[in-house]
Amino acid sequence: MEATLRILVIDDDEVDRMTVRRSLIKAGFRLQVVEVENCTEAIVTLQESPFDCVFLDYRLPDQDGLLLVQQVRQIGIRVPLVVLTGQGDEEIAVDLMKAGATDYLVKSRISSDSLARVLRNAMRVYQAEMEAALANQRLRESNELLIHKNQELEIQRQQIQIQNIKLVEASRLKSQFLATMSHELRTPLNAIIGFSQLLLRPGKRTLLPQQQDMIQRILNNGQQLLALLNEILDFSRVEAGRLDLRPDTIVLSDVVNATVNEMRSLADEKQLELAVQINLRRPRAFNDPNRLRQVLINLLANAIKFTDAGRVSVSVSDPSDNMVQIVVQDTGIGIAPEDFDHIFEAFRQVDQSRSRKHPGTGLGLAITDSLVRMMQGSIQVDSTLGQGSTFIVQLPRAVPLPEEATASLLPLR
Ligand code: ADP
């Protein structure tokens, strides 16, 4: 069943009002019709309650229909307005529509059919206008929301930028602190190491065996501490981009053998076999012997540290003229595949518990990785838990000169 329509008829002529009412009823509408005779009453009535459509005479006693249409729209009353014009008033139809009338109908053509058509049409147009206005309103609102969100994002971006600057500064201060602290600590430590070595010299036999043992321990601990400090110092240099390569022509087997021999006593202490295999077609390379030694020492120290029984081996080969490969293999505890990437991150250790068995800073592999990358090489790990690990380092036979190397130094993984 159709809903009852509230219709306002504005006309000072009673017969005309009745014609409109009757025609609409005849057309089959359920209606509630309110009738007024002039503009003033019309405005008051329209402000009091809503209507589904308004039929207004163009010629009204207090002012014309055009003014009324303008006034209704000006005060923001939303309702379909159909103007009933007299014969000869059609030319003002355009002005009426511009002013906000929904439609117009010449009085002489009023019939129940024409009125029904105009009413339905006016309500449809009005409905479409309302929907468009609503959609527009929503668009405006979401636009405003977007502008607001954008402003918030911009504020957040600025805050992040400020945080970033602070973080970079904090990180710089931390690296500086690490560098200064390890440097300052090294001076007294070198004195401790130097004097204990002096006291342990074979010529001086004035020490009791117990005292000699104590001094040996001071020396061992001092050297351990120095190695740690050097690691921290190197790390802070890497972070600050101040670690450089001093390449020279080297005989690879000499560097490798000498380094392995340095580590032999550590392997012996744990009764591990330490083997070296050199398989080079061309013996020379162009690299920084100290940094290459450092890479090897880090890998060997780990291999020995994380192996309780079996063997550690180093093999050097040159798969091509421009490439050198160093493989350090052990039969130790191994590394789970999900840790392969993490172990190269600074301060990362697989076992980070307080009760961990193996000492260390967690910087060795981070520094090694950076050094290898400075040499424009690569490092890979392959490992099986409980069976052992293999670290494969591939390097160009001739590493880049310092400026190029520093430029290629990427941040630590
Ligand atoms: P650190 O040895 O000082 O702990 P590293 O950066 O050298 O730090 O190594 C990071 C971690 O990688 C080690 O703590 C260890 O968990 C793992 N790792 C490195 N080398 C080996 C290895 N040969 N066998 C087993 N685990 C290893």
- Tens of pLDDT, residue by residue over 241-252, are 777 889 999 999
What's the whole-number mean pLDDT along residues 385-412?
A: 77
Residue 36 alpha carbon to ligand 1 centre in Å: 95
Residues found in the chain: 413
Helices (H), 313-401: 364-374
d(CA 209, CA 148): 80
Give me the pLDDT at residue 191, please: 93
Give me the pLDDT at residue 317, please: 96
Question: Is the minimum distance from the CB of 389 to ligand 1 under 6 angstroms?
Answer: yes
Per the DSSP assignment, residues forming a β-bridge with 381 are 391
Q: Report strand pairing: 31-36 vs 103-106.
A: unpaired
Give me the pLDDT at residue 404, please: 55
Residue 149 alpha carbon to ligand 1 centre in Å: 47
d(CA 298, CA 280): 22
Residue 298 alpha carbon to ligand 1 centre in Å: 9
Q: Which domains does the chain have, with CATH numbers?
A: 5-110 (3.40.50.2300), 165-240 (1.10.287), 248-396 (3.30.565.10)
Return the structure tokens found at 59.
């010629």
Confidence of residue 411 (pLDDT cuts 50, 70, 90): very low
- CA separation, residue 59 to residues 36, 39, 91, 118 (Å): 13, 10, 14, 19
| Ligand 1 mutation pick, 263, 297, 302, max ligand atoms within 8 A of CB | 302
Residue 136 alpha carbon to ligand 1 centre in Å: 64
Residue 353 alpha carbon to ligand 1 centre in Å: 14
Which has the closest alpha carbon to 293: 371, 223, 347? 371
Helix (H, G, I), strand (E, B) or coil at 150: helix
Least confident of 94-108, 220-234, 357-371: 357-371
| Ligand 1 mutation pick, 263, 347, 349, 369, max ligand atoms within 8 A of CB | 349
Question: Is the minimum distance from the CB of 301 to ligand 1 under 6 angstroms?
Answer: no
Return the ligand 1 atom nearest residue 328 CA.
23
Does 256 have pLDDT greater than 90?
A: yes
Give me the pLDDT at residue 357, please: 66
Displacement of CA 254 from its chain's centroid (Å): 48
Nearest residue (by CA) to ligand 1, atom 1, is 362
Does 410 have pLDDT greater than 90?
A: no
Who wins on pLDDT, 340 or 90? 340
Alpha-carbon Rg for the chain, nearest whole angstrom, is 47
